[in-house]
Amino acid sequence: MRFTAMCCIFITGVYTSSTPDITFKCRHMPEICTNMCWAMRCAEPRFPQTLTWDNRSVGDNVMYPNLKASGCKIADNRCREHRVQHGSMEGVFSICDEYPFYFTLESGLANGHAVSRCVRRNANRAQAKSLRATYTPWRKQGLGTHKLQVGIADPGYKGVNYCLNQPCVNDGFEMQDGMAKIDGVDGVDGIDDRREPPPPPPPFRFFKTASGNIMASLDALTLGVNFTRALHDDEEEDEDEGEPEETIMLDRWAEEVEGARVRFVSDVLLEEVSAEHAALVDALVE
């Protein structure tokens, strides 16, 4: 059974979508969700949860400048080649992840203010797989741009920060403008550059889906409306072992995306829940 979809329209920069175009499950990529939630709630300037996919940005002439401006140069960045620099992390966190994504109009308009964080390679690959599965059909349709509303699932999962409306206190690894801004201090090489305190961060709202996921959104989502998201490997395993009763009726299918088989599910937004409920649900699945 597939629930009737509500069409999402992009008109002169005004988005009428009320469901995510792409969903990232934070249990698979906690540091990536942390980076996105910091960029959306805590950064100065902040960035929207709904971006604009730009097919032109896939070309090297746009991609490389956008990545460089975000602090995530492909072959020369703090996460891999310069791991002693401010904001770098040791161990497996060797990939530089940026928000807004380099292939969006917002990245090109960020004027170097994009947010970045060092993340695990497998998390970055999972994110890239979901992104390709989302925008490849748009490219095949010949579209030049398309709105990209980002869904954040499992916002309270262990290791995720800022997605449950935690205080905007930089852990030292969220980089913007080449520095980690902590409590109004631009902390680079011990320089204390205090500015006026930023306005209060906007709060996420939380929504439960038919598959049992909790979604974090800065804006209201329309209940009872279906949305498509890519399935992760653990969800495919759950399907083989038998699904919970409430997910049996959800439509699932597979598609070939750039030579890889990707499974999708048509999920449904059921109800808005409190942050406390969202935290409890995610704690139960850890």
pLDDT in tens, 33-72: 999 999 999 999 999 999 999 998 877 778 889 998 888 8
Winning range, highest mean pLDDT, from 47-61, 73-87, 245-259: 47-61
Return the structure tokens found at 68. Answer: 């460089």
Mean per-residue pLDDT over the chain, rounded:
83
> Around Cβ 45, how many Cβ atoms within 10 Å?
12
In the chain, domain spans: 10-284
What does the pLDDT look like over 112-145, one tens digit per residue? 899 999 999 999 999 999 999 999 999 999 999 9
Tell me the HSE value of 61 on the side-chain side, using a 13 A CA sphere.
Answer: 2
Please tell me the distance from the alpha carbon of residue 150 to that of residue 80, in angstroms, as a whole number.
27
Instruction: Judge whether residue 239 has pLDDT over 90.
Output: no
What global pTM score does this model have? 0.85
Name residue 145's beta-bridge partners. Answer: 54
Lowest mean pLDDT among 82-86, 101-105, 150-154, 198-202: 82-86
Among residues 101, 92, 99, 100, which one has the least CA distance to residue 119? 92
Dihedral sign, CA of 54, 55, 56, 57?
positive
Nearest 5 degrees, angle CA 248-CA 122-CA 88?
135
